C-alpha cells in the first residue's frame, strides 16, 4: 500500500535540525565556544581592544530551556541508559569478567606447578592468590556494576580458600595445600560457565534493576519486550525468572521479542510522530502480563511474545531538550490534538498525573472499514519529557471507544 499522504505530511513537517554534530556516543553542541575566543581575544571589529563595543543580544542557544516533566525525564533516562548498556556494552563487560576470573585460574595453576616438596608451599603464595582474587573482583566490578554486583562474589570466593592455604603453608602441609588449590580452581571455574554467567548476569531475560525501572508498579507480574534496533538490532525480554524445578512448566517463547515486522507496524501507526532528525536513540517497549508457569506442559504458554497482546510504548531520545521541543512542535503541526489527559482512567490532574496530548493523524487506508478509499485516522498519546518524546496507545479506534486499553502499561514507569 502506498503511503503518499503520510509521506507528504511527514515531509512538510520536518523541522530544521540544530547546527552541530549529533551522534549516539557524543554530542557537539552549537554553542560550544572556539578555543581562540577566550576573554583576551581581539574581536577585530575596529582594531581596538573591544572595550567600547556595544553589548550584543544573548544567543538563543545560551538561554536556559525549561525541562518539561523533569521527573519523568529522569526516569526515562535511567531506562534508556540501562537498555543501551545491555545493547552495546554488556558483551564487553562479560568478557572482562571472564578475563578477570581466568586470571585467577592462571594464578592458581602457576602456584600448583611449583609444588613438588612438602616445604614448597609458602604463605607468600597464598597472599599472591589473595591479591589475584581481589584484583579480579575489582576488574569485574568496574565492568559490570551497578548493573550487576560481582565484587562480593569474587572476594568471598577468594576468602573461602586463602585462609586454608595460609595455614597449610605455615604447617608445611603440601597435601592439604594442593587440595585447597584444586578447590579454589574448581570454585572459580564454576562461576565462569555459560550457564552460570547467563543466569547470574542475565540478559535474556533481564531481571536486574532495569526491570524495576521499566515496571516499578509491579515487576513481578509484568513481561516486557524491549528493543533498541539501532544497536545491533538488540531485542530481549525483561521479567522475573521462572523457578527451576520439575514440578512446573515455564512458558516457551517461539519467536524473538519485537521483531522487525512488528516494529514497522508500530511505526506505521505512529506516522508523523517519528522524527529521526537529531534523534540519538530509539526504544521500543511493550508491556504484557507475565504468563504463569503451568502444572503440565500442555497448559504452559507456547508462542511468540506478541500473542500476549502487550501494550507498546515508543521512546525517541534527542541530543537536548531544545531539539526534542522542536520535534514535538513538528509532530503537533503534522496532526491534530484534542485536549490532554492522563493515560490511566482512574487518575486526574488533581492527582498530579501527567497529562498527555490526545493526538491523532490521518494515514492512507483504514484499519476499521477495510476500504482503502478512506484515509484512516490513528488516535494515540504523545508527551515530551526532557529530551525524550514518548508515544503510546495508537489505534484506529478513538480514545473513548477503547476503555482499559492500557493493560500492563499501568505498571510502567510512564504511569508510576
| pLDDT tens digit sequence for 51-61 | 444 455 555 55
pLDDT band at residue 374 using 50, 70 and 90 as cut-offs: low
How much is the pLDDT for 365? 53
Q: How far apart are the first and last CA of the chain?
A: 39
Peptide bond preceding 146: is omega within 30 degrees of 0, i.e. cis? yes
Are both 252 and 125 inside the same structural domain?
A: no
Are both 312 and 171 inside the same structural domain?
A: no
Are both 181 and 238 inside the same structural domain?
A: no
Is the residue at 79 inside a domain?
no
pLDDT exceeds 60 at position 364: no
Q: How far is CA 213 from CA 182, 210, 411, in A?
A: 41, 5, 10
Burial of 92 (0-12, 13-18, 19+ CB in 10 A): exposed
How much is the pLDDT for 59? 54
Bridge partners (DSSP) of residue 282 are: 316
How much is the pLDDT for 342? 95
Distance of alpha carbon 178 from alpha carbon 332, whole angstroms: 72
Task: Report the half-sphere exposure of 55 (CA within 13 A, side-chain side).
Answer: 2
pLDDT exceeds 80 at position 357: yes
Are both 239 and 343 inside the same structural domain?
A: yes
How much is the pLDDT for 142? 98
pLDDT exceeds 90 at position 350: no
pLDDT exceeds 90 at position 346: no
How much is the pLDDT for 40? 39
How much is the pLDDT for 64? 80
Query: Whole-model pTM?
Result: 0.81
Is the residue at 353 inside a domain?
yes
pLDDT exceeds 90 at position 16: no
How much is the pLDDT for 46? 39
The x, y and z cell numbers of residue 262, run together, are: 512488528
Distance of alpha carbon 405 from alpha carbon 382, whole angstroms: 15
pLDDT exceeds 50 at position 29: no
DSSP 62: G
Are both 231 and 380 inside the same structural domain?
A: yes
Distance of alpha carbon 119 from alpha carbon 166, whole angstroms: 13
Are both 194 and 315 inside the same structural domain?
A: no
Distance of alpha carbon 95 from alpha carbon 414, whole angstroms: 34
pLDDT band at residue 63 using 50, 70 and 90 as cut-offs: confident
Is the residue at 27 inside a domain?
no
Are both 364 and 240 inside the same structural domain?
A: yes
User: Which residue range is the domain that position 129 belongs to?
Assistant: 90-200
pLDDT, average across residues 62-75: 90
Is the residue at 15 inside a domain?
no
Are both 194 and 126 inside the same structural domain?
A: yes
Domains held by the chain: number: 2
How much is the pLDDT for 62? 58
| Domain end call among 155, 185, 200 | 200
Are both 149 and 287 inside the same structural domain?
A: no
The answer to whether 381 touches 339, Cβ cutoff 8 Å, is no
How much is the pLDDT for 92? 98
Are both 195 and 242 inside the same structural domain?
A: no
pLDDT band at residue 352 using 50, 70 and 90 as cut-offs: confident
pLDDT exceeds 70 at position 180: yes
| pLDDT one-digit tens code per residue, 77-116 | 999 999 999 999 999 999 999 999 999 999 999 999 999 9
| Domain end call among 181, 200, 219 | 200
Task: Report the half-sphere exposure of 292 (CA within 13 A, side-chain side).
Answer: 4
The answer to whether 363 touches 3, Cβ cutoff 8 Å, is yes
Is the residue at 209 inside a domain?
no
The answer to whether 310 touches 265, Cβ cutoff 8 Å, is no
Which residues fall within 8 angstroms of residue 9, CB to CB, at 6 or more apart?
271, 272, 334, 335, 361, 362
What is the share, in percent, of the chain residues with pLDDT greater than 90? 76
pLDDT exceeds 60 at position 375: yes
How much is the pLDDT for 26? 36
| Domain end call among 200, 218, 237 | 200
Is the residue at 118 inside a domain?
yes
Are both 388 and 295 inside the same structural domain?
A: yes
Average pLDDT over the chain, rounded to an integer? 86
pLDDT band at residue 369 using 50, 70 and 90 as cut-offs: low
For the chain, the residue count is 416
Q: Are β-strands 302-303 and 252-253 bridged in parallel, bridged antiparallel, or unpaired?
A: parallel
How much is the pLDDT for 347? 66
Are both 156 and 285 inside the same structural domain?
A: no
Which residues fall within 8 angstroms of residue 358, CB to CB, at 6 or more apart?
337, 338, 339, 340, 341, 379, 381, 399
Is the residue at 358 inside a domain?
yes
pLDDT exceeds 60 at position 15: no
pLDDT exceeds 90 at position 310: yes
| pLDDT one-digit tens code per residue, 114-139 | 999 999 999 999 999 999 999 999 99
pLDDT exceeds 50 at position 9: no
Is the residue at 233 inside a domain?
yes
Amino acid at each position: 500500500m502506498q503511503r503518499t499522504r503520510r509521506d507528504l505530511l511527514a515531509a512538510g513537517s520536518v523541522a530544521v535540525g540544530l547546527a552541530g554534530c549529533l551522534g549516539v556516543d557524543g554530542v557537539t553542541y552549537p554553542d560550544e565556544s572556539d578555543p581562540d575566543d577566550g576573554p583576551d581575544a581581539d574581536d577585530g571589529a575596529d582594531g581596538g581592544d573591544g572595550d567600547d563595543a556595544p553589548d550584543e543580544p544573548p544567543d538563543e542557544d545560551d538561554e536556559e530551556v525549561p525541562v518539561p516533566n523533569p521527573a519523568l525525564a529522569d526516569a526515562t533516562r535511567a531506562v534508556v541508559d540501562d537498555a543501551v548498556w545491555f545493547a552495546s556494552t554488556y558483551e564487553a563487560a562479560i568478557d572482562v569478567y571472564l578475563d578477570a576470573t581466568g586470571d585467577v585460574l592462571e594464578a592458581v595453576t602457576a602456584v600448583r606447578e611449583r609444588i613438588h616438596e612438602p616445604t614448597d608451599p609458602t604463605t607468600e603464595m597464598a597472599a599472591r592468590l589473595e591479591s589475584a582474587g581481589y584484583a579480579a573482583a575489582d576488574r569485574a566490578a568496574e565492568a559490570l556494576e551497578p548493573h550487576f554486583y560481582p565484587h562480593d562474589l569474587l572476594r568471598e570466593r577468594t576468602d573461602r580458600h586463602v585462609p586454608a592455604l595460609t595455614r597449610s603453608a605455615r604447617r608445611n602441609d603440601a597435601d592439604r595445600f594442593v587440595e585447597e588449590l584444586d578447590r579454589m580452581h574448581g570454585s572459580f571455574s564454576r562461576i565462569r560457565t555459560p550457564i552460570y554467567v547467563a543466569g547470574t548476569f542475565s540478559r535474556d531475560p533481564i531481571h536486574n534493576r532495569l526491570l524495576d525501572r521499566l515496571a516499578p508498579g509491579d515487576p513481578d507480574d509484568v513481561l516486557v519486550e524491549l528493543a533498541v534496533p539501532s544497536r545491533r538490532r538488540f531485542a530481549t525480554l525483561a521479567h522475573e525468572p521462572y523457578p527451576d524445578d520439575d514440578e512446573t512448566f515455564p512458558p516457551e517463547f517461539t519467536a524473538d521479542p519485537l521483531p522487525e515486522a512488528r516494529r514497522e507496524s508500530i511505526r506505521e501507526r505512529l506516522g508523523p510522530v517519528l522524527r529521526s532528525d537529531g534523534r540519538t536513540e530509539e526504544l521500543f517497549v511493550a508491556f504484557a502480563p507475565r504468563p504463569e508457569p503451568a502444572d503440565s506442559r500442555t497448559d504452559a504458554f507456547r508462542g511468540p511474545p506478541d500473542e500476549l497482546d502487550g501494550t507498546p510504548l515508543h521512546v525517541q531520545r534527542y541530543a537536548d531538550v531544545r531539539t526534542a521541543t522542536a520535534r514535538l512542535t513538528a509532530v503537533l503541526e503534522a496532526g491534530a490534538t484534542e485536549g490532554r489527559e492522563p493515560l490511566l482512567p482512574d487518575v486526574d490532574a488533581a492527582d498530579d498525573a501527567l497529562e498527555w496530548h490526545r493526538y491523532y493523524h490521518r494515514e492512507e487506508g483504514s484499519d476499521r472499514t477495510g476500504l482503502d478509499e478512506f484515509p484512516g485516522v490513528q488516535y494515540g498519546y504523545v508527551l515530551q519529557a526532557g529530551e525524550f518524546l514518548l508515544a503510546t496507545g495508537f489505534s484506529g479506534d478513538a480514545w473513548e471507544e477503547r476503555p482499559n486499553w492500557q493493560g500492563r502499561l499501568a505498571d510502567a514507569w510512564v504511569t508510576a
